[in-house]
Chains A and B, each alone.
Chain A
Amino acid sequence: MTPAVNLHILAAEFTQLSRSAFFEPAFQEFSAKTAEVILHVLQNAKKYPEEVVRQFQELTWNILQFVSGSRSNDAPHETQYVLRKALKEWVSEDALVSSAALNGFEFFVNLADFWEFVDHVIDGYDVDGYSPLVVRIGSPAAFRHRPVFCVPLFHELGHFVDHNYKISEASVLLNLGPTPDGISAEQWQNLNVQHRMEHFADLFAACYCGQATNQSLFAIAPNHGDSPTHPATDRRMKVVDDFLAGMPNPMVDLLQEALKARKQEPLKVRFVEPSVECFNDVLTCKIGSVEELYGIFLSSWGYLHTQLADRSAPWITLDADASTIEKTVNDLTGKSIRNYEIVERWKNVTSD
């Protein structure tokens, strides 16, 4: 299990992936190029310090998790489609949205830039301008067909946007406040950056999913207090509540200022809630716009939790359990999203 042996294994894995089926064909090219750079490192291993080779293989293991999770059979396609649309509103270049299918109940975004490392550190390998923006998002494998439960991924996408434009860091430069007694200036700065990253990600998610953001946060971390990395849950929820209600909030104002300083669009509500009354008749929702596409997460979230509580929908029989209810709502939501995508792509090709 030395780095060199691992790299041989990784080269074989990426070669196989380059022949796999992905919804985004760009992943095949990505896999082929990754296999190529791994082989270059192996052939020239003596030129590189041991630490470089070790770090390179660690980054490559990480990338493998995301690329393999993005294969057609494994990727949460419908959720990824909506995340790609949201991301396009913030980054002008085409981004690869990759996903790792995790065994545990966790959501995260991975921010290390593999090709930047290759370009700057792997001497002798010419990337030839190949430097795709790769958004790496992890979510539970069991949620592959459960888009309603993937609302936390919008929060993770917010972290990516923050990292890309250094919003939280900019906000600290704009306004930090005096260092309290008992901690160093550096610790105070780090604490503020960490907490503002969470607030930004929450607000970013709220732009697309509305109150479903707070409700999913409460479901995951109901009574969490302040920690070095996260503000208390109730404080986080208050910021989102104020933002969505249009109420003044100093954290919202600060992050909006930071976005402006970084020449980015402000945070604003980007969704419209479509009616999902059709779900009562076990019919898909005909999503009419991209705003409704974002809004269906909120609509479906609300519908699902209402039905779990009062079981009022006509299709819920006496013997239907919670898993039947959530599967039906998640399936109808996923199919509604998929239909919107199919119609969009059909119209792009067939219209005059």
Chain B
Amino acid sequence: MSLLTKAKLLKRINSGDTGQIFVDPLLSDDQIGAVSLDLRLGCDFLVSVPSRWPSIEIQGDALPSGPDFFFQEARRDIGEEFLIHPSQTVLATSLEYVGLPLDVYADVISRSSYHRLGISMSSMFQPGFRGCISLEIFNHSNVPVCLVTGSRLVQVRFFQTDNDEEYQTDGPRRKYIGNVRPTISRAASDHDLPSLREISQQTKR
């Protein structure tokens, strides 16, 4: 497995062939760095809010206390500010719609400039991924931070794998493919949960 450096990134980003790393829109070529690609903060948000329910339950998303009841939509225009409060979790996405080829996966971390403000996120995306990259942003600091939609919030490192991996068809169908705005957690649809529930109930009998 190898990290894609600038020369390879320049060859593969939006090359138009099946091995391309698709990025749309790529507003500025200087987003491509020595070992990473800067991505921008998108315009749609899901903001964590308290609700009448005591906790988020993931055992069955049809229940009233599923994740849907703890997040609220917000939209901004590009260039507008978005305030994230201390200890607040916000779901956002990259401005860019990204498509990874079958032999590349990606690590996403917040850029150092934002890390220093207490803003952090990290994630990874599987080979074959399609969509606006999900950004789960948390404010670790004790002051609110104003982010600007369209600003370069995260950097992505791309790694070429030894083999092609199929995102869509291997294993259970991926939950977040083709998303263009932040999506509530679908942890409740993890296929192991019914088995685990049964184990727990067996133990109790």
Contacts and interface: CB of A to CB of B under 8 A. Distances in A.
B97 A343 contact: no
Given A23-B77, A72-B77, A315 B24 contact: no
Given A315-B168, A331-B178, A282 B130 contact: yes
A346 B27 contact: yes
Interface residues of B, number: 27
Given A283-B97, A339-B24, A342-B27, A334 B180 contact: yes
Nearest to B74: A73
B25 A335 contact: no
Name B's interface SS.
Answer: loop
Contacts of B130: 281-283
Contacts of B179: 331
A23 B24 CA distance: 22
B184 to A, nearest CB: 14
Interface in A93-136: none
Interface in A269-284: 281-284
Contacts of A317: 168-169, 173
Contact of B76 (A21, A281, A282, A334): A21
Contact of B97 (A72, A314, A319, A335): A335
A77 B74 CA distance: 13
B177 interface: yes
A332 interface: yes
A342 B22 contact: no
Given A21-B76, A339-B97, 16 more contacts: A23-B77, A72-B74, A73-B74, A282-B99, A282-B131, A283-B97, A283-B99, A283-B130, A286-B24, A314-B168, A315-B168, A332-B180, A342-B78, A342-B95, A342-B150, A346-B27
Interface of B: 22, 24-25, 27, 43, 73-78, 80, 95, 97, 99, 130-132, 150, 168-169, 173, 177-181
Interface of A: 21, 23, 72-73, 77, 145, 281-284, 286, 314-315, 317, 319, 328, 331-332, 334-335, 338-339, 342-343, 345-346
